[in-house]
Amino acid sequence: MLPTIEIGVLQLNTYWLIYGLAIMAGGMLGYHRLIQGGIPPRQALSGVLLIIWAGAAGSVLLKSLAITLRDLALTGELAWELNRGSAFLGALAGAIGAGWLWFRRRGVPLGRAFDLWIVAVPLGQAIARLGCLAAACCHGKVTTSWLGLYLPDHDGLWAVRYPTQLLSSAADLLIFLALLRLEQAIGRHPQRLGRWRFPGALFVAYALLYSAKRFSIEFLRADTVLPLVGVLTLTHVLCALSFLTALVLGLREGATRDGRRPLHEMKGATR
């Protein structure tokens, strides 16, 4: 829709420009929160940069894998190329893996560390989806619904479509606000949350909310890969696995607490 911005002889790709702003906003917030959490500035900066680079690598790899599998199913030919766009689920997987290794190596409690930086992720997502709107990628299906807007697809074909980019951006912003509200509730009114105030609770909440959001939006998108099971695509399967994993993790962590200390610490105290 607005793939480039021309300033004289200078041409700026809006997709990567907005994505750059999203990374800057999310990175700066994540850096600020890590420092507030007691991590030295230099270590916080190196951690944020590592997470960003790992996320970028994961996004490219997963997108390339998804398109390669689609092409293989359609043509029977296996052709692997890296320059095929990006996928946020891959970015999230890469960021989580890098963060886990980085924080673990430095002895930082993983639950607390993930709670600190995960809040910045949906803010960056909300901004980045505006880049998808400008580039007309991640477009929605043609519809007669009242939700429809007159928008192009990645081939430049205009039609009344589900504004999946705007819906995703709005949902990501709501997730960001919900995480902030949950964090405030944990600090001010912990008794209201019962066992759901363990280190890592914000990360689990994000995984649950994002997986549910992405699973739902996938039904409205027209640029998805071929279905794997019925109408469910690879993204549906990955989101379902992410949701179930986060749910099990949350239930397990909540079950090991009486609201004050881990269960194994209580048992050790009675020996």
Tokens of residue 270, six digits: 């009675």
pLDDT band of 105, cuts 50, 70, 90: confident
- Please choose, from the candidates 75, 86, 76, the residue with its C-alpha nearest in 3D space to the C-alpha of residue 125: 86
Task: Kindly state the average pLDDT of the residues 50-72.
Answer: 79
Please enumerate in sequence order all residues whose Cβ is within 8 A of that of 53, keeping only pairs 6 or more positions apart, or say none.
Answer: 98
Report pLDDT digits (tens) over 213-229.
999 999 999 876 667 77
Confidence band, pLDDT 50/70/90 cuts, at residue 268: very low
DSSP 8-state assignment for residue 228? S
Measured at the alpha carbon of residue 229, what is the angle toward residues 227 and 231, in degrees to the nearest 5? Answer: 55
This prediction's pTM: 0.84
Is pLDDT at 172 greater than 90 in this prediction?
Answer: yes
CB 130 within 8 A of CB 15: no
- Band (260; pLDDT cuts 50, 70, 90): very low
